[in-house]
Every structure is written in C-alpha cells, then in structure tokens.
Structure 1
Amino acid sequence: MATPLSRRDLEFLLYEWLDVEKLTARERFAEHSRETFDAVLELSEDLATKCFAPVNKLGDQNEPYVGDDGKVVLPAEIGSGIAEFVKAGLMASSFDESLGGMQLPTVINRASSAWFQAANASMSSYAFLTVGNANLLAEYGTPEQIDTWVRPMVEGRFSGTMCLSEPQAGSSLADITTKAEPMADGTYRITGTKMWISAGDHELTENIVHLVLAKAPGGGPGVKGISLFIVPKYLADGTRNDVALVSLNHKMGNRATTNTLLNFGDGTYSPATESGATENPPAHSVPGAVGYLVGEEHRGLSYMFHMMNEARIGVGFLATSIGYAGYLASLEYAKVRTQGRPVDQKDPTSKPVPIIEHADVKRMLLAQKSYVEGALALGLYCSTLVDEELTTTGADRDRATLLLDVLTPITKSWPSQWCLEANNLAIQVHGGYGYTKEFDVEQYYRDNRLNAIHEGAHGIHGLDLLGRKVTMQGGAGLALLVETIATSIERASADDATATYAAELRSSLDRLVEVTAKVWSAGDPSLALANATAYLEAAGHIVIAWMWLEQLLAVGDKSGDFYDGKRAAAQYFYRYELPKTGPQLDLLEALDRTTLNTDPAWL
C-alpha cells in the first residue's frame, strides 16, 4: 500500500518555504520547537498509517446501520482507531494549554490532521467536527459552557456536530424553521428537523454536543433572526435529551461517517417520561429538546461562521488529502505496472515498459502532482494566516484576517474540484483496475466527490468570492490579495529561472483585476454574478499559480529529484493550467447572459 501523504513534501512546505520554526519566537508557541513539531508529525504519520488506513476499506464496505436497539452500529475498528488518536493527545493538539491542549500552531495541527484525512477520510471527520465545535464554544461560550461541554470534547469523551441544514432549506439558512422557545430558567426548548448532519449519531463517545441554528422569538425574518444553541444528546445530569435519529443517509462515499436526519423535540425522548416526572416535574421536563443559548440571541449565524470558516478550510484539506492519496497510489502503480513499448520501439519481442515511461501517463501524473501539491501549499499558507491572527495585533492582525477572508472560498472550493480531478486521473492511470473495488482509487474518487458540496456548494463559494470577498471594504480584499501576489512576482522577476513565470502570472493577475471591475461596472448584480463560478475557477487557478511560484522561489537552485519534481510540476501548471483562465476571463468580461436568458421551460 502506498503511503497516503508525502512526509518530504510536508517538510519542504513547512520548513523550507513557510519557515514555521519562526513561530516559536512568539509567546503563544514559545514552548515548542522544530523537535516538537517533528514529533507530532511523526506520531501522526505512524497512527494514520497503522490505525486509520487499514480500516478505510472496512468502513467503506460496512456502512453504518441502526441496530434493533435503535443505536448506530459501526465497525469496532473505527472506535478503537479513534481511541488511539485521542489517547495520543491529538484531539487536544490545537487547543490552549488552559483547556488541556498542546497549543500547537494551526499550521502544524493542519499538517498533522492531513495524515489522518489522507489515510481515512471518514474516520477523520469525527475529530474534525468535534474540534471545530469546541473551538467555537471556546471562543463564544460562557465559562460554565466551556467547563461542561468543551473540556470533555478536548479530552475526546464527547464529540460535536454542526446542525445547520434542513430538508426544505439546504444551504439557504434564511429559510430554516427550527424554533427555540425561551424558558424561565434561561434554557430554551428546540423543535425542528435538521438534515445532512455528519456524525449526528453514533456510540463512539459518551455524548454528542450538537450546535444548532434555530429562530428565537423577536428575531424577524431571514438570517438576522437566527440564534445558536448547544443541544446535547445527553444533558449534564445524564438525562436523555429529546434529540432523535430519524434515519441514516446512504452516501456514495465517505460512508463510515454517519450522516443523519435528526428531529429535535418531537417527543421521541420525552424528558417528562425519562425523569419520571410527577406533579412537580424538573425544569427540563417541559416538552422540546433542551438547548443552551450561545452568546446573544439573533447573532447565531455570525458565531456559526467561526466553525463554518474553519470547516471550509478543513474541507479543502480533506479534498487535498484524498487527492494526494490517490496521486501517490497511481504513482506507485505506474512504476510497477508494465504495458506497451515506447512509440519509437518497433520490436514486438522487446519487453514492455513500466507505464510511467509513457508521455501521456506522465502527463496525468504531473497534473495530479500540480493539483495536490499546489492545494496543500495553499491550505498550509492559509493556516499560517490563522496563526498570524492569533499572535499579532493591530494592522498585522487585520491584514491576516482580510487575506484569509478572501482566500477561504478558494481554499475550500479549488481543491474540491481539482483534487477530485486528480482522483479521476488516478483511476485513469490504473486503467481497468482503477474502477474495481480491489484498488483504492475508486473509493478515493467517491469519498472526494462530496467535498464540492460540503460546507457550501461550488456555486455558493463563487457567489461569496465575487459578490462579497473581492468587493469588501471598497475592494480592499482584492487589493490586498493582488498586493501580496505582486510581492512574490517582484521577487521572482529578479531570477532568470522564475522570471518568465512571474511575467505570466502578472499578466493573468492584471487581467483578473480588470475583469472584476468590468463585471461590476454594469451596475446589475444579477448579471455580475451570473458567471460567478467561472470567476471562482479562474481566480483559483491564479492563486494556485502563485503557490507554485512561491514554491519555485523556495526551491531556488537546489538540486535533486525532489526539487526537479517541483520544477516539473510548476512548469506543467503554467503550461497546461494557467492558460485556461484566459477563456474564462473572456466570458466574464463579455458579461455573457446565456444563463440569465435561458427560460427554465427550455431545459
């Protein structure tokens, strides 16, 4: 079995490019060193390859189901693997020391997590969601809420979810109907239904802490009326809360992560019945699921964006990691699979060559390499911006926040599209074996297909990027991105080895700025956003081209196969991929109305 991720590439990106060791000079990370970073990464690689990767197919082929007792059943190996992850302290790696965490830099924590995401996407999601949930509550929860719910999650005893979507609303959160009724004791009663809730029910932990968006009285219509609530499966006193599993959703991939339809407050678990209430029932015996308000009423969506933005970058990492695993699997296969002969070899008695010798196979491998290594660079770069937010103040912090805001939709969506394409090419490299269950690459494709939908579909992030992020603060978001990329271009222009690439990137970047202005010049938001997906894809390719330019600058004049591989992948991206942005920008500049003018009756 091929390793699911490249330790050498991670070391290059972390130490030779991003120079993450310099973070140890900051007070927050002063107790860490290159040695502690390496120890965490080595531990992650070891656990991922020994406890997560061997269970990947098992979880895929044995989907969760509901047993006769109403409990979700998963292969036992999933629970034991996650227990090893928790035992190693990795659930707590990014949290503050005051919460029992390691207080690692985000960039190291993300690199650590990538090992588990690449080894077993489904198993990794339980921890991924729990960490995001706990981070939100650590930021906005009360001290009591942190002690009651966050600490057990950091310890790995509880797990967490995010409950946003509903069957009728999907991504349109303004249309959610889940209600929250305030009680005299300060709690709320939550009633409603949530759909597509990953890790929404299981027996892997003592408790599940749901973060639920619901509408409390007086909030008005739309998203401004939304509040956020902690709704645990079990209350602090052990009472079963009225949160019911209605059904499990059966997905094409990522199967071992339970995906659920949940009812809140439908009477399935009546608190009055559970408590044996009499004439003086306890406060929590009022019908409905007991919920605890997070922060202030009607500000729930702004709080949830803390977890959503973290999750969006996490989904980008998940897509990257699965794409990376497929690339390495197809690379290993191409080296050992013999078939055919060079086109200039006419002797039919000569031995077949490994398929990696064929130009078209090398094209497919170079494409995968350029996608997954470019995407990994972007994810780690954005993780350093999170560390900048945590450890700087004033203008430096504002800069990191703004740049991260602009890059987040790209960091989520570009890997979800192009690392899926890497999985597609990995199947093609395997030929007929690629779509058989005996080989891993067909599962990688199915697992990765979900990420273009997770945490906002592709088109939603196009609308976010073009409609909000590049126009925010009077265009300051786009201006900062351009300024940051231009700094790299200036450095690269001074070196003969990278000057041509710098010029090509400068041309594409200038064109993006011009087209952005043209799109909004018409004064028609519907027209401006009609082709927002094309904008997202073009901007994403330009950003990844920047990531490759940065990597070339880090390579410099170093020699060896690893560095030559970086040069070849960068050359591929600039020759084959960056030129694709031209027709997309042409389409945007033309203010094309094809989609707007199409009558639904024609389709």
Structure 2
Amino acid sequence: MAAQVLSERDLAFMLYELFDAESLTARQRYADHSRETFDAAIATGKAVALKHFLPIRQKVDTNEPTFDGEKVHLLPEIKPALEAVVEAGLAAPSTDYETGGMQLPLIVTNAAQAHLSAVASTTLGYISLTHANANLIEAHGSDEQIDTWVRPMREGRFMGTMAMTEPGAGSGLADLTTTAARESDGSYRLSGNKIFISGGDHELSENIVHLVLARVKGAPKGVKGISLFIVPKFLLNEDGTIGERNDVALAGLFHKMGGRGHTSTALSFGEKGGATAYLVGEENKGLMYMFHMMNEARIMVGTGAALTALTGYQYALDYARERPQGRLLANKDPESPPIPIIEHADVRRMLLAQKAYAEGAYALCLYGSQLADDEKTAETKEARTKAHTLLDFLTPIIKTWPSEYGPQANNLAIQVMGGHGYINEHPVEMFYRDNRLNPIHEGTTGIQSLDLLGRKVPMNNFAGYRAMLAEMHGTVEQAKGSELSLFAEQLQAALSELQETTNIVLAATAEKDLDLVFSNSVSYLEMFGHIVIAWIWLRQGMAADAGLQANPHKQDEQFYRGKLQAMQYFFHSELPKIYHWSKLVRDIDSTSFEMKPDWF
C-alpha cells in the first residue's frame, strides 16, 4: 500500500482542535460555510492532487522544461493538471463568490491546497504566483487594470509573475537598472533584463502578466525611485482579445536542482524599442506595492517547505514500518526474524525529529494564514490591527524557519531509508532537492534575518515584537498549573533569554559598527524562530492534552500521545540550542566579521 501524502488526522487536528477554524463560520463572510464545506474543499484538493499530479510527479522531475529558441516546451501533462485545479475552484478559493472563488477562510484554503502543494511541488507555483499577482493589482491597481488583467487571471486564462531580480543587482533592488519612459498616451516604454523569473514564459495560458520593478527616467536613486509596472507578454486588442506580442523576449531557461516543473527564466524587455508597460499606482512607490506580493510569496514559500517536509516524513514513516532489517541489541538470537526498522531507537529519533520539524513548521504557516484572514475579517478594528501587526512581524520567521528545517526533515527521511533514500526509485531524494530551493526563494535566510533584527523588531516602537512576546507569554500562563507546566517554564526561560539578548544587541547598535553588530543576525533569527516553534508546539501539546482528557478511542489516544512526544522532543533536543545562538548575538561575536577575504 502506498504511503499517504499527508496525515488527514493531523490536518483535522490543526484546523479544528488547534486553531478552531470552525468558529470562523460565525463571521458574515463565511456564514454559508460549515465544517462540512471546509472538509469537502480539502477532499477535493486531495482528489485533484492524487488524480492529476501524483501520477506525473516523477516525470515532471525527470523532464525539465526546454527552450528551442522560440518556445518553451513543458511536459504535456502539466497543462491539464493545472486546468483541473482551476476547474475545481482551487486556484483562488479564498476570493469572492463574484470572482469565481469559494470565500473560504485563508487557513482552510491553505489546508485545501495542502495535498496539491505536497504532490505538485513548485509546479503549483504557476497558479500560486498568479493568485498573488492578482491580489496585488486588486489592492493597488486601477479599476480598469483590475477588469483588464485580474479577471482573466482569476478565470485561469492568464497567468502572472513577479519580475524583480536583475543580473547585476541580485537581491540588491536599490541597484536595479531596468528603466521606463513615459509615453503621451499614459503608458510607458520599459527596457531591461530580469533573471530567475519563475513562470516567466510557457505555453500554459493565453497570456502572462509580468509585474516588473523599474526606474522611471529621472527618478531618485535607490529604492525610493522604484516603480511597478504591468507588462503583458501579449498586448490586448480593444475588445480584450489577445493582440500582438509585446517587446518581451525569453533569453533562456535556468536548470534547477529541483522544482523542475516551474520554469525559471531570463527575460529581456525592450530589445525592439521598449516593452509597453502600465504603471501600477503612483511612480516611485513600486517597492511598497511589490511587498504586498513578496510577503504573500514568502508565506507561500514557508508553507511549501513545510508540506514537502510533511510528505517526506509520511513516506519515511511508511517505509520504516514496512522495512525489516536487523535485530535489537538485546536480542542475541541470530535465527530470529529481522524487525521493522522503526523498532530501532535511532530510526525513531530521526522520525521524531522530522515530525517535530514538519508539523511545527506547518502549524506556524497555518497560524500565519489565520492572521492574514483576521487582518481582513476579524470583527473589530482592534483585532484586525493586532493581526496585521503580528503577521508583518512574523513573516521573516514564517518564510525562513520552515525553509531551513524542512530540508533538514527531508534529509532525515533519506537517512531513515538508507540506500533506498538516495535513489530516484523513491521520491524522498526529490523532496530534498525541491525543498533545498526554499531557503533562497523570496529572500535568503541572511536577508530575512536582517529584516527581523534590523527592521521588524524595532519597527513602530517595537509593536510587533511586543505583540508576539505577549502572545507567547499568554500561552505560558495558560499552561502553568497543567500537566505541561514544566514545558511552560522552559518556554518562559527562553523568552527571558530572548528579551535580554534583544536589549543587548540593539543597545550595541548605538556604540559599535552596524555590520559587526548584525553579523550574527542569522543566529538571532534561529533563536527567535526556535522559540516561536516551541510556542507552537506548546499550543499543540495543550490541544493534545485536552483531547486525551476527553477519553478518546485508541487510535486518537495514540495520535495525541505522538503529539505530546514530538513536543517533548522539541523542548528537550531543540529549544536548548537557543542559548548557544543567544551567546553569539549577545557577545557580538566577531569571528565571521573579522575574517578577511584574502584568508579564505
């Protein structure tokens, strides 16, 4: 019997016992929904994933996109698989009924797309990036732009990208050189080169809507002079039909170690005089607008990383239960039959670590989805503001922690399976390759760490930082006096360490070289991320303990005890690491900073 892609019991636990998603039906926007409609959406997502993506998973990995100089060629099965997602209403199920959506809460949307993301990997990115593109234009574009570009994207006829990175600038957006010149008709002529553009060219849709960062001629230098433009692959006729090709050319494809179903492209704009471009919002505010899509994409990256870790864990778990090998040390009888490898303590250690990483990471991502929904639909302005503050603060952690520890979980899945783990007859080696892209996607770990320590912590008089600490301290107080009080005390001690470390490092910014002070920012991010995941696990432990108090049947009892054991693993084996990271940050350790380029 094939391993399940994801644990449906765990999905239900997170949605209904941990985050109480059913309570969202009391909100006016979701009044038509119930747990039954939520479960139906999740079941539909699973069905589409298993029918259309699972059979082609390995073929997608082994048949990379090719470019013949004129067109991109993809595995033919990808197009009908993506069309099945659109036809099932799963391309943008959180959007309004009027635009073809289901008006599902974002946390339920996350769960409904979970099997798709786990099976399709980055192939689903054609749809996910299109949705994020459309969301940005809805938020910052004109009514005409929404009608012209968003509607066909919602219908699945057009797809969308984000085009930021340039060959000479990389992540340094202040140095981008793509330029735009105003035309008399209100449009612009845009010229420049962009690289690593996911979904930048293909034959999957009628059109591709690029959102491109560029500098209007005469604009200020640096990030303050960046504007955002809609640049379609094909221009439209007056009646909305596809017209002539815009001055956008595919310069080539990049060949990735994983995520091969999603093209990664180099695009050239304006080789023949300038690509027709349409300004979004106002000039010189482009980076602010693009952050709307970037932040959504960062949460998508974290979620994809967590789900890839989860499906790898499920595969390794199934293998460990079925694979007989060796005997326990206490068994001296060579004629006794080999035991399933899950009976060996070190295999259980590796499975437990995977469970702690993957289920902790996905719970964090679901929490992020819940905050994103509360930001829009919570009953009071105060609750909406609080959700916005928390989500904005947590975004670097939601992006980074799953994308760093998801691959570690997949690495352990390979190790559990031994020689069978690194051959492509089994998918865990592919999961690792796919997941290894995520620490780089949408801002490297180093960039996210600078964002957290340098911007998000002190921003708005420490509002997000204080709000996050308050949330975690609130859970600690709830857990005190319960069966989990010892874990609450450990988390409280970790929070004290975090606060003291934060005070010390930020005070040092007034006295020392900023590059020195922030040279250990990744350690700060690791510390903060581990504490947040410990908090997430304490919340899971409290929900599991409540489940045990209700005298569940045997299968549920085993499930809850597994949750509590994973929580214990994280607190015993992972949380203590924060004190090492804390020391590096507090001491302003200069080892890396003082290393000279010529010494390497």
TM-score bracket, normalised by the shorter chain, equals: over 0.9
Secondary structure of the corresponding residue to residue 24 of structure 1: helix
Partner of 1:196: 196
- How far the C-alpha of 1:599 sits from its partner, in A, is 1.3
Partner of 1:493: 480
Partner of 1:598: 595
- Alignment check: 8 A CA contact 2:42 2:113 kept: no
Whether 1:520 and 2:506 are equivalent positions in the alignment is yes
Aligned mates of 2:11, 2:85 — CA distance in 1: 20
Which digits, 9 at most, give the CA deviation of each residue in 1:369-419, with x for residues without a partner?
000100111000111111111013532222111111111101000011111
- Alignment check: 8 A CA contact 2:89 2:100 kept: no
Partner of 1:225: 225
Partner of 2:348: 362
Which digits, 9 at most, give the CA deviation of each residue in 1:275-330, with x for residues without a partner?
xxxxxxxxxxxx31111110111000000000000000000001001111110110
Partner of 2:240: none
- Alignment check: 8 A CA contact 2:258 2:434 kept: yes
Aligned mates of 1:460, 1:13 — CA distance in 2: 30
- How far the C-alpha of 1:594 sits from its partner, in A, is 1.3
Choose which of 249, 256, 271 in structure 2 pairs with 1:251. Answer: 256
- Alignment check: 8 A CA contact 1:423 1:445 kept: yes
Whether 1:206 and 2:209 are equivalent positions in the alignment is no
Aligned mates of 1:92, 1:385 — CA distance in 2: 18
Partner of 2:185: 185
Partner of 2:17: 16
5 Å-filtered alignment, 1:95-114, equals 95-114=95-114
Aligned mates of 1:96, 1:179 — CA distance in 2: 36
- Alignment check: 8 A CA contact 1:92 1:155 kept: no
Aligned mates of 1:450, 1:262 — CA distance in 2: 20
5 Å-filtered alignment, 1:330-345, equals 330-345=316-331
Aligned mates of 2:398, 2:196 — CA distance in 1: 22
5 Å-filtered alignment, 1:548-559, equals 548-557=537-546, 558=548, 559=552
- How far the C-alpha of 1:587 sits from its partner, in A, is 1.3
Whether 1:459 and 2:446 are equivalent positions in the alignment is yes
Partner of 1:147: 147
Partner of 1:273: none
Which digits, 9 at most, give the CA deviation of each residue in 1:507-543, with x for residues without a partner?
0011001000001112233232110000111110100
5 Å-filtered alignment, 1:465-480, equals 465-480=452-467
Whether 1:585 and 2:582 are equivalent positions in the alignment is yes
- Alignment check: 8 A CA contact 1:493 1:499 kept: yes
5 Å-filtered alignment, 1:42-61, equals 42-61=43-62
Partner of 1:570: 567
- Alignment check: 8 A CA contact 1:131 1:154 kept: yes
Partner of 2:84: 84
Partner of 1:271: none
Choose which of 361, 364, 369 in structure 2 pairs with 1:383. Answer: 369
Partner of 1:411: 398
Whichever residue aligns with residue 216 of structure 1, its letter is V
Tell which deviates more after alignment, 343-352 or 96-105: 96-105
Aligned mates of 2:4, 2:77 — CA distance in 1: 20
- How far the C-alpha of 1:9 sits from its partner, in A, is 0.7
Partner of 1:547: 536
Partner of 1:304: 290
Aligned mates of 2:451, 2:574 — CA distance in 1: 23
Aligned mates of 2:182, 2:481 — CA distance in 1: 64
Whichever residue aligns with residue 473 of structure 1, its letter is N
Aligned mates of 2:219, 2:473 — CA distance in 1: 44
- Alignment check: 8 A CA contact 1:4 1:325 kept: yes
Aligned mates of 1:86, 1:24 — CA distance in 2: 24
When the two chains are superposed, the root-mean-square deviation of aligned CA atoms in Å is 1.0
Aligned mates of 1:3, 1:58 — CA distance in 2: 20
Secondary structure of the corresponding residue to residue 451 of structure 1: coil
Aligned mates of 2:285, 2:541 — CA distance in 1: 44
Runs of 4+ in structure 1 over 3 Å off: none
- How far the C-alpha of 1:4 sits from its partner, in A, is 1.8
Which digits, 9 at most, give the CA deviation of each residue in 1:250-286, with x for residues without a partner?
011101110000000112xxxxxxxxxxxxxxxxxxx
Whether 1:507 and 2:493 are equivalent positions in the alignment is yes
Tell which deviates more after alignment, 536-545 or 84-93: 84-93
Choose which of 339, 352, 360 in structure 1 pairs with 2:338. Answer: 352
Give the % identical residues. 53
Whichever residue aligns with residue 564 of structure 1, its letter is R
Partner of 1:275: none
- Alignment check: 8 A CA contact 1:3 1:49 kept: no
- Alignment check: 8 A CA contact 1:226 1:300 kept: yes
Could you state the TM-score of these two structures normalised by the residue count of structure 1?
0.95
Which digits, 9 at most, give the CA deviation of each residue in 1:518-577, with x for residues without a partner?
011122332321100001111101000000000111112415111111011101101111
Tell which deviates more after alignment, 95-104 or 167-176: 95-104
Aligned mates of 2:79, 2:232 — CA distance in 1: 20
Where structure 1 has 5 or more consecutive residues not aligned to the other structure, the ranges are 268-286
Whichever residue aligns with residue 339 of structure 2, its letter is V
Where structure 2 has 5 or more consecutive residues not aligned to the other structure, the ranges are 238-242
Could you state the TM-score of these two structures normalised by the residue count of structure 2?
0.96
- Alignment check: 8 A CA contact 1:463 1:532 kept: yes
Whether 1:117 and 2:117 are equivalent positions in the alignment is yes
Partner of 1:138: 138
- How far the C-alpha of 1:602 sits from its partner, in A, is 0.9
Which digits, 9 at most, give the CA deviation of each residue in 1:417-466, with x for residues without a partner?
11110000000001011111111000000000000000000100010111
- How far the C-alpha of 1:218 sits from its partner, in A, is 3.4
Secondary structure of the corresponding residue to residue 104 of structure 2: coil
Whichever residue aligns with residue 545 of structure 1, its letter is A
Whichever residue aligns with residue 324 of structure 1, its letter is L
Which digits, 9 at most, give the CA deviation of each residue in 1:230-260, with x for residues without a partner?
0000111211101100000001110111000
- Alignment check: 8 A CA contact 1:52 1:123 kept: no
